[in-house]
Amino acid sequence: MKTIYLDNNATTMAAPEVVEEMLPFLREYYGNPSSMHTFGGQVAHNILEARQKIASLLGADHDEIIFTSCGTESDNTAITSALSNNPGKNHIVTSRVEHPAVKVLCENLAQKGYRVTSLPVDPEGRLDMDEYEASLTPDTAIASIMWANNETGVIFPVEEAARLAHEKGILFHTDAVQAIGKIPVNMKKNTIDMLSLSGHKLHAPKGIGVLYVRKGTRFSPFLIGGHQEKGRRGGTENVPGIVALGKACELAAVNMEKENTYVRALRDRLENELLKTIPQSKVNGTRETRLPNTVNISFEFIEGESILLLMDQFGICASSGSACTSGSLQPSHVLRAMGVPYTMAHGSVRFSLSVYNTAGDVDAVIKELPAIIEKLRVLSPYWATSQGTCATA
Ligand code: PLP
């Protein structure tokens, strides 16, 4: 059975060109870039090349790029660095729809005595910028707002948010893990201080991330140890991962437009057909400012998990908006923050596409999903009640 992979916001396939690029660094050039001998030292040059490619995609300088192990490490580093460089300030501004890499860290910091403002979003998943501005106070050390939401694809006005933070002398960080490679980002045209990205979301392998730190930003390392990354992140460099991410960024620069046209067209067809053929279905998140590859749809009165299991029988991979917490299914914090009703939030499915998807992949979902939903609704007592009939099982 063919795998129809529509879960690219969870992780992506490493591009074949990326794999080719990294293999020599596993097989032949496995030396430590910090070694004195030529065998090790030569790969330092390849790291620099990769750094330049990543910087070029971001419109950054290569020495503003710090390699990390993942998006989570980058997010943790940015926020804790801002706090340690602003010892007199104990307030953090963030949103209720951040990835756990920011959300759980902030909850943890709140337990340690920091004051955290988690801004609400509207039913379309958007931030109220007046409320954001009002939340920035003299004791705010950092504002951290994601560039694009991983569950809904909603894009936030982070460049404007950075500008407002700077007016009050506050550092601004963005978790751009879902944005990089999908929408154009140019750090020369904004004032964002720190930005996180993760290789495995843009066709590089897992285990490599980047924290962009604007020149002149006061910074404290999170991982303390060796002098790697000019003392900004201890630990021997993941050379194959770094080289791979360099290649992935080079490809992203070329494919971005394709992503914005080809992938968007596939996504739009999927979305429009599903909404047309499946009653009581609704898109979560504004359709105006959304990543071109993402659609999150709620199918009322059924559970996302059941939909995933039945789609899996056809090789279709997607994600649901629920998580198993304390033995029961809980709708995601993102959908709850948007005020999506429980009967809708439970039945949400996220489809996230990539340049490797085909029209055939979308056709398969359009063909199979309406029958899957119908089958599950027949079994759902809530659906039966809503239709004024009895469930058959
Ligand atoms: N931030 C966002 C928005 C994400 O979607 C993810 C991963 O899903 C992360 C952070 C964490 O990235 P990583 O898996 O590289 O730690």
How confident is the model over 8-38, as pLDDT tens digits?
A: 999 999 999 999 999 999 999 999 999 999 9
Residue 349 β-bridge partners: 297, 320
Atom of ligand 1 nearest to the CA of 70: 15
pLDDT at 115: 98
pLDDT at 291: 96
Q: C-alpha angle with apex 71: 69 to 72, nearest 5 degrees?
A: 90
CB 33 within 8 A of CB 229: no
CA 38–ligand 1 middle distance (angstroms): 36
- Decide: residue 390, CB within 10 A, 0-12 exposed, 13-18 middle, 19+ buried: exposed
Provide the pairing of β-strand 328-331 with 348-352: unpaired
Provide the pairing of β-strand 91-95 with 140-144: parallel
Q: How far apart are CA 223 and CA 189, in angstroms?
A: 30
Which residues sit with their C-beta closer than 6 Å to ligand 1? Answer: 70-72, 75, 99, 101, 146, 150, 175, 177-178, 198, 209
Q: Which helix (H) or strand (E) holds 123?
A: none
CA 278–ligand 1 middle distance (angstroms): 31
pLDDT at 392: 47
- Contacts of 153 by beta carbon, 8 Å cutoff, 6+ apart: 9, 178, 285, 290, 291, 293, 294, 295, 296, 352
Atom of ligand 1 nearest to the CA of 149: 3
CB 120 within 8 A of CB 93: no
CA 390–ligand 1 middle distance (angstroms): 43
For residue 165, how many other CB atoms are within 10 A of its CB? 26
Residues of the chain with pLDDT under 70: 322-328, 384, 389-393
pLDDT at 393: 42
3-state SS, residue 171: strand
Nearest CA to ligand 1 atom 5: 150
Atom of ligand 1 nearest to the CA of 11: 8
Can you read off the two tokens belonging to residue 50?
Answer: 């990769």
3-state SS, residue 16: helix
Per-residue model confidence as pLDDT tens digits over 303-352 = 889 999 999 999 999 998 766 555 567 889 999 999 999 889 999 999 99
- Contacts of 234 by beta carbon, 8 Å cutoff, 6+ apart: 221, 223, 224, 225, 226, 227, 228
CA 99–ligand 1 middle distance (angstroms): 7
**Residue from 76, 178, 197, 206 whose mutation best tests the ligand 1 pocket (most atoms within 8 A of CB):** 178
Nearest CA to ligand 1 atom 10: 71
Residue among 127, 106, 143, 154 nearest 285 (CA)? 154
Atom of ligand 1 nearest to the CA of 74: 16
pLDDT at 381: 74
The string of DSSP codes covering 212-242 is EE-TT-----SS-SSSHHHHTS-S---HHHH
- Decide: residue 324, CB within 10 A, 0-12 exposed, 13-18 middle, 19+ buried: exposed
**Residue from 97, 146, 177 whose mutation best tests the ligand 1 pocket (most atoms within 8 A of CB):** 177
pTM, two decimals, is 0.96
CA 9–ligand 1 middle distance (angstroms): 9
pLDDT at 389: 63
Going along the chain from its start, the domains and CATH numbers come out as: 4-9+255-386 (3.90.1150.10), 16-252 (3.40.640.10)
pLDDT at 179: 97
Selecting among 70, 106, 249, 324, the annotated active-site residue is: 324
Catalytic residue at 324?
yes
- Decide: residue 11, CB within 10 A, 0-12 exposed, 13-18 middle, 19+ buried: middle
CA 197–ligand 1 middle distance (angstroms): 8
3-state SS, residue 343: helix
CA 255–ligand 1 middle distance (angstroms): 21
**Residue from 12, 183, 201 whose mutation best tests the ligand 1 pocket (most atoms within 8 A of CB):** 201
